[in-house]
Amino acid sequence: MVAGSLCLGGQAAAQDAAYSPTFLATVRRAAEVIPGEHPVSVGVLTPDVFTISIAFMVEGGSSERVPAGHPAFQIRFPRGWIMVDASIDREIAKNDTSFSDERYRRIHEALRDARLAVVTHEHQDHVAGLIRSPYLAEVQRHALLTRAQMRVLLDKPNDPRIKLDSATAARYLVVDYDPIMPIARGVVLIRAPGHTPGSQMVYVRLASGRELVLAGDVAWHISGIQTQRQKPEESTKSFGGEDRAAIGQQLRWLKELPPEITVVPAHDQMLIDQLVARKVLRRGFDLEAK
Ligand SMILES: [Zn+2]
């Protein structure tokens, strides 16, 4: 299910291709190169739902408080699945009264039984489930981190509780690619450093033809993409800020995607609930037919 990096011409050509006008065509082409069946659905499970002001998430946003959470996603194939993001750790979230131990348990079962698990970036609220797992040895066998993600986890993670030593790091699968890498039929990783050095997005094309981009934290709220407004600098201080030029390019690309492609920022729980209601995403995980 894991292919090597797709090298498009020389190094310079590969870098020019990222987020250029022809980039989507390249991503779509890469999605079809690995043999096998397309995924059939993308499921989502959020263990905790809290509210946060749009002003915290988007520059110039209103003080209105909206639902947010720390979801994990399941790209479901006829047999087996790929996980995208691993949610927050129970202990790290311990003051959060909305936290559901039942949903948390289900996320960890899904991570344990996945064929492959990737994260949109190396912040603890996305990667903790791969590092502080109750099924750690099983999860490490198929957890695929990028070299950039691993470097941050070894050197300066945003939470000391997810810091890795080199012996533990060696138990994970680590890859490097630029700018894209197909990992299964219909699933392509898109390198997106900016929010963090190891950030990436995940393009998905389902058997039905539906296309989604799991965008991680390029934006925290869909209005950041719609209005092309970044996160307030004050809100990104705690993890050392972002590469705003790179994020600007990614926000532009996401906004200009054709309307049939659904963009899912990880923390916008209101949007996620709307997408579940419209059957674009599926609520919960299907853990049969591993
Ligand atoms: Zn996050």
Least confident of 89-98, 138-147, 221-230: 89-98
* Statement: residue 97 has pLDDT above 90: no
Write down the pLDDT at residue 2.
47
The tokens describing 245, both together, are: 């030029």
9 CA from centroid of ligand 1 (Å): 33
Name the pLDDT band for 17 (thresholds 50, 70, 90).
Answer: confident
194 CA from centroid of ligand 1 (Å): 13
70 CA from centroid of ligand 1 (Å): 7
15 CA from centroid of ligand 1 (Å): 26
pTM score above 0.85: yes
- Report the pLDDT averaged over residues 115-144: 98
Domains annotated for the chain, with CATH where assigned, are 11-283 (3.60.15.10)
123 CA from centroid of ligand 1 (Å): 6
216 CA from centroid of ligand 1 (Å): 7
* Statement: residue 212 has pLDDT above 60: yes
93 CA from centroid of ligand 1 (Å): 13
122 CA from centroid of ligand 1 (Å): 9
290 CA from centroid of ligand 1 (Å): 28
159 CA from centroid of ligand 1 (Å): 13
* Statement: residue 5 has pLDDT above 60: no
Phi, psi of 250 (to 5 degrees): -70, -40
Least confident of 8-12, 146-150, 161-165, 231-235: 8-12
